[in-house]
Amino acid sequence: MKNFSSLLLSLSFCLFCGSISNDAVARTLTDDELRARAMDQGRTLQSRIRALKKLYSYMLVDGEIPSRTTCVWDVLGKQGPIYTSTVDQQLRLKHYGITMDVEAYTDEQEVVDKLVAGDCDTGIISGAQARQFNDFTGSIEALGGVPSRKHMKYLLQVLSSTYAHKKMQQGNYHIVGIIPIGFNYLFTHNGKKPTLKRTFSGKAAIVNGDVSQHALYSAFNMTLVNGNNAAAAAGAYNLAEADVLMAPLVGYNMFNLGAGLKHGSILDYPLSQMTLQVVSRIDRIPPEVGQFLREDLFVKLNMLYREVEKNTREVPRDKMLKLSAREEKVLATQIASIREGVMKEGGYNKGMMKLQKNIRCKIDKTLQECKK
């Protein structure tokens, strides 16, 4: 987790570092030709960057990049790893004559509001919140849609290709980075051998606007305890105001979930993926830059996963308990049905659901859904 924001920010701004190329060939190209050259993954990176510099030369002011503002959602504020690594990058960017303002927010909604208002050029937020800016990438976290890390790697490979470039843009925003931070699991107050009945009963803490959480708990007729953000939902679980909480394992330290887990357990069944997504305003960070970032992130995917693993070492593995094999099959069937229902109601993007299904069937052709 620690290194990803510095990686994103350095790439996004450094693509414009230096003077405008004197490439005689580039000067003769039209904007469309320059754009095509910048997006051509068959070309060298140097060639693509030269085209990009020429295409967006108008963005330079007195030969330098204007100041950009990045708003970071970090539940630990300025002491958090995401904010800290972003601030560290400021010094490196000074070498390129770039001024970057970094602001930390413990309330994710503030980042969203400031991004919409134009006070932030880029926002780092959860995939659930990113859905309002791009429902395609916002549907990555669909229940049961990406059941393993292998599936996630296939998905991110597709999303880093130029074929998916247009899907990254919706309205005035585009997704310039997708960071997988692990599976979502159920943290419960049940310390006994888990069963579906024991696990999906009582009160469930949810984040307002999270369609996956709402649909899952509603399907099991649980009472919903609404929270304005992830921290509020975690607080409800820790204070025993709710019996279950959906969260990734990295949330154990981020939200001090050990307090709520003291006499409980974690259902060892991956319900969905959780991501951080980097959302930028198109008028401030050009779409072609987003393509470069997504490509580079995919190359460094294993490094990102190692960072996630470092941040989950303190999770007590003896607290992770499995359902019986029979009940796991029942849950998988129910989740598939819930996912289909949410898609039909418009909660999940149909294009993303089709892509995820294609990947599931590519990995395992014997699945019942692949025989239809």
pLDDT digits (tens, 9 = 90+) for 71-122: 988 877 787 766 766 666 555 445 444 567 889 898 899 999 999 999 999 8
pLDDT at 56 over 80: no
The answer to whether the CB of 284 falls within 8 A of the CB of 119 is no
Q: Which residues contact 231 (CB under 8 A, 6 or more apart)?
A: 75, 106, 107, 255
**Does residue 372 belong to any structural domain of this protein?**
no
- Does 16 score more than 70 pLDDT? no
Mean pLDDT of 271-286: 90
Q: Verify that 201 and 290 share a domain, yes or no.
A: no
Whether residue 94 is contained in a domain is answered as yes
> What is the Cα–Cα distance from 231 to 223, expressed in whole angstroms?
19
Evaluate whether residue 100 is within a structural domain.
Answer: yes
> Which range (1-5, 182-186, 262-266) has the least confidence?
1-5
For the chain, the average pLDDT equals 85
129 lies in the same domain as 195: no
Question: What pLDDT is recorded for position 79?
Answer: 74
Q: Based on the number of CB atoms within 10 Å of its own CB, is 113 exposed (0-12), middle (13-18) or buried (19 or more)?
A: middle
Q: Give 166's contacts (C-beta < 8 A, 6+ positions apart).
A: none
Of 290, 352, 304, 323, the closest CA to residue 146 belongs to 352
CATH of the domain at 206: 3.40.190.170
CA atoms within 13 A on the CB side of 88: 14
Provide mean pLDDT across the span 117-145: 94
Query: What pTM does this model have?
Result: 0.85
**pLDDT for res 114:** 96
Of 78 and 235, the structure prediction assigns the larger pLDDT to 235
The tokens describing 125, both together, are 């937020």
Q: Is the residue at 330 inside a domain?
A: yes
Q: Looking at the 3D structure of the chain, how many domains does it have?
A: 2
Same domain, 189 and 326: yes
Over 60: is that where the pLDDT of 14 sits?
A: no
Q: Note whether 70 and 162 are same-domain residues.
A: yes
Query: Which pLDDT score is estimated for 360?
Result: 96
**Beta carbons within 10 angstroms of residue 117's beta carbon:** 8
The pLDDT tens digits of the residues spanning 279-332 come to 999 988 888 878 887 887 888 888 888 888 988 999 999 999 999 999 999 999
291 located within any domain: yes
Task: Mean pLDDT check: name the lowest of 68-82, 117-131, 357-371.
Answer: 68-82
Give the domain-ending residue among 265, 284, 310: 310
Domain around 99: 4-181+274-310
Residues 107 and 25 in one domain: yes
Residues 58 and 162 in one domain: yes
Domain co-membership, 148 together with 215: no
Domain-embedded: residue 244: yes
Task: Indicate if 302 and 287 belong to the same structural domain.
Answer: yes
Domain membership flag for residue 198? yes
Same domain, 170 and 198: no
Both tokens assigned to 26: 């580039």
pLDDT of amino acid 215: 96
- pLDDT number for residue 211: 94
What does each C-alpha distance from 80 to 157, 232, 249 come to in angstroms?
Answer: 29, 18, 16
pLDDT greater than 60 at residue 19: no
Question: 174 and 215 in one domain?
Answer: no
- In residues, how long is the chain? 372
**Element at 188 (helix H, strand E):** strand 173-188
Q: Residue 69 has what pLDDT?
A: 86
Diameter of the chain by CA atoms?
72
Domain membership flag for residue 371: no
User: Which CATH number does the domain housing residue 119 bear?
Assistant: 3.40.190.10
Claim to verify: residue 142 and residue 156 sit in the same structural domain: yes
Task: Please identify which residue in the block is written with the tokens 């995919």.
Answer: 298
Does 255 lie in the same domain as 288? no
